[in-house]
Structure 1
Amino acid sequence: MHKVWRSVCYRWIMRSKHAISLLSYPKINLALDILGRDESGYHIVQTVMHEVRGGLYDEVQIETRDDEKILLRCDNSEVPVGSESVMMRAVRYMQQLARREDAAAQIRGATIFLKKRIPIAAGLGGGSSNIAAILKGLAQLWGVEDCVFDFAREFGCDVPFFLFGGTALGEHYGEKITTLPPLPSSKGGALQFEIIDTGMQVKSEDAYARLDLKKCGSNTAMTEKMIAGLKSDDLRAVFENLHNDFEMALPGEIYGSQNPAEKILLAGSGGSKVRIRYL
């Protein structure tokens, strides 16, 4: 049976001088165009991303330490937290950068615990969201907020987006971020999101490998209409132009809906899906 989370937007954060707790939310791609591949082998994309602040989230708890150790733990054994993991490398880099930024501050270590709820390898950006939350938390505790965005892309192309949140256009590999207006609401109506955990894990590199690039990138006009809708407060234009090129990589899956007031999309590169209702 698929697990379903409905969007009920709220925000919660706890902070003291030596500890902080942040919620780490998933994202969905309202539009995702794969435009080709460059000489490095990386794929060029254009995507409208939206952070879903609702009932599905991870929690990041951080406490500073009196020594220089970094202890990183997670309640899900599938999440890599070892010394060579991307998450640990990001924390170490942040620690070194903080020391360079303020040599007199005596930046030390941290104990970090991740409560994991966002499905893994599901196209929801959970790992990038976790890294962004950890970097934001450490930056606040260590007083070096201004430097985080400059290196965030080194630890995941979605990490810069999660530092902003909201709704944004991602270009190049997805790491070049332009903030967009929030989802329209002033003209009535709303979009409701249900993230559906199919239980299927899909690595991004595998999803890209299955694509026929000749069939991708044909919906860029829809992305332009969606962005125009965001800027003109036209929710209908946003809803009518939802699309994801990665759905071509999983042709056996069922997308769309017979209900004209809802659509079912692949979440990112999969394997979760998202049901979007126009209310």
Structure 2
Amino acid sequence: MKTTIKAHAKLNLFLKVTGRRPDGYHNIHSVIQPISLFDEIEIDDMPGNRIETISSSDYTLNGLPWVEPLRLESEHNLTTRAARLLAKLAKCNTGLKMLLKKKIPIAAGLGGGSTDAACVLNHLNELWNLGLTTADLFELGASLGCDIPALLTGKTVEVEGKGEIVKRVNVASMNSIWFVLVNPGISVMTSDIYSKFDSGLTQKSLLTNLSDLLLGLEKGCVAQISKGLHNDLERLALRKYPILARIKEKLLELGALGSLMSGSGATVFGITATRCEADKIATGVSDAVGCPLWTEVVSGI
């Protein structure tokens, strides 16, 4: 039976790198917010026991005057790997074809590949009546990618370790919190940014930022959330890609209450209290920066 599922993107509202691990990964402390932007995955049975992911076509990003090639290799795609992992665990021989319709930019700090995998894990657990617990899914997700456990929840969460320690955050209604996402069409490799990270650059305590952010989320106060925004990786990415610094500057000049790069980039977001303010900023940011930009107005979910 054919079904279509939605895999929602995320923003990092807070990201502190707390150290390098013996396995080569970094420990982090982050607050992750799911947003209304999503990919669609159409899942259908197919003869035999082959599981594969295909893409509908190349994808276009609103505001950028070029088509983004979608070089999807099914064998290495996270959706394929997630489905095969569950099929092996369940001793399931069902063939699946997954049609991926991308709306989330790739390598953009928005968790596109990870959220696709998380969505597939959740869906197939229900479809195949596997009865896996949240802890089971977290463990499976962590074996595929560091962001996946957080994205399995579909909720605002606080994350530690390399991403496997996940805790729900108390959040008021997100109806009064809007984000303007901006990306110049740059794909940033997470490993590249993390490899350049020097913990000595961020020795100051960020407990105040985190407290402001968590309290702001609990109260639904955009101004307080904006005070708590922080990303240890931002300085490195802005140094390598100066256009990101210009985007952040212009978002604030146009009226965003706060601005931050999400994840390892290259998406920079501004935060506002109304959809009208967000739309106005989104309309003007490309001209203000002086180049074509992908922009999207989204809400938290």
Q: Under TM normalisation by the shorter chain, which class is it?
A: 0.7 to 0.9
Question: Structure 1 residues 209, 61: CA separation in 2 closer, same or farther (over 3 Å shift)?
Answer: same
Q: Does the alignment pair 1:262 with 2:257?
A: yes
Contact 2:78–2:114, Cα closer than 8 Å, also in 1:
no
Q: Give the match's secondary structure for 2:253.
A: coil
Q: Which residue does the alignment assign to 2:140? A: 151
**1:228 matches 2:220:** no
Match of 1:140 in 2: 126
1:166-203 CA distances to partner (integer Å, 9 max, x unpaired)? 21101111231101122456xxx822111112201100
Match of 2:50 in 1: 69
CA distance in 2, matches of 1:87, 1:247: 28
Say whether 1:92 aligns with 2:81.
no
- 1:77-108 CA distances to partner (integer Å, 9 max, x unpaired)? 53433324443222211101122xxxxxx651
User: SS at 2:90's partner residue?
Assistant: helix
Report the counterpart of residue 246 of structure 1 in structure 2.
233
- Counterpart of 1:271 in structure 2 is 266
Give, in angstroms, the shift of residue 35 of structure 1.
1.4
Partner of 2:108: 122
SS at 1:265 equivalent: strand
For 1:217 and 1:60, the matched residues in 2 are separated by: 42
Amino acid at match of 2:51: I
Q: 1:51 — aligned with what?
A: 34
1:209 equivalenced with 2:195 (yes/no): yes
Pairwise CA distance, 1:29: 0.7
User: Which secondary structure does the structure 2 equivalent of 1:52 belong to?
Assistant: strand
Does the residue aligned with 1:57 lie in a helix, a strand or coil?
strand
Indicate if the aligned counterparts of 1:20 and 1:137 stay in contact, CA closer than 8 A.
Answer: no
Between the aligned residues of both structures, percent identity stands at 28
Q: Which residue number in structure 2 is paired with residue 163 of structure 1?
A: 152
Letter in 2 for 1:70: I
Quote the residue 1:6 is aligned against. Answer: none
Aligned-partner residue type, residue 84 of structure 2:
R
Aligned counterparts of 1:232 and 1:57: Cα–Cα separation in 2: 26
Residue 163 of structure 1: how far off its partner (Å): 1.1
In structure 1, the residue corresponding to 2:85 is in which secondary structure?
helix
Q: Is the 8 A contact 2:222 2:271 kept in 1?
A: no
Aligned equivalent of 1:177, options 166, 177, 190: 166
Count of residues in Structure 1 that have an aligned counterpart in Structure 2: 251
The secondary structure found in structure 2 opposite 1:276 is: strand
Pair 1:171–1:112, CA change in 2 (3 A): same
Question: 2: CA distance between counterparts of 1:224 and 1:19?
Answer: 44
SS in 2 for 1:25: strand
Gaps of 5+ in 1: 1-17, 100-105
Q: Given the superposition, is the C-alpha separation of residues 235 and 217 from structure 1 closer, same or farther in structure 2, using an over 3 Å criterion?
A: farther
- Output the amino acid matched with 1:126: G
TM-score normalized by structure 1? 0.81
8 Å CA contact 2:172–2:218 kept in 1: the answer is no
1:147-177: CA deviation from partner (whole Å, max 9, x where unpaired) = 4333111111111111111211011112311
The 1-side partners of 2:163 and 2:202 are apart by 16
SS of residue matched to 2:233 = helix
Structure 1 contact 60–115 (Cα < 8 Å) conserved = yes
| CA spacing shift, 1:88–1:225, aligned 2, 3 Å | same
Separation (CA, whole Å) in 2 of partners of 1:200 and 1:261: 22
Task: Select which of 15, 23, 26 maps to 1:40.
Answer: 23
Q: Distance in 2 between matches of 1:79 and 1:231?
A: 40
Contact 1:125 1:158 in 2 (8 A): yes
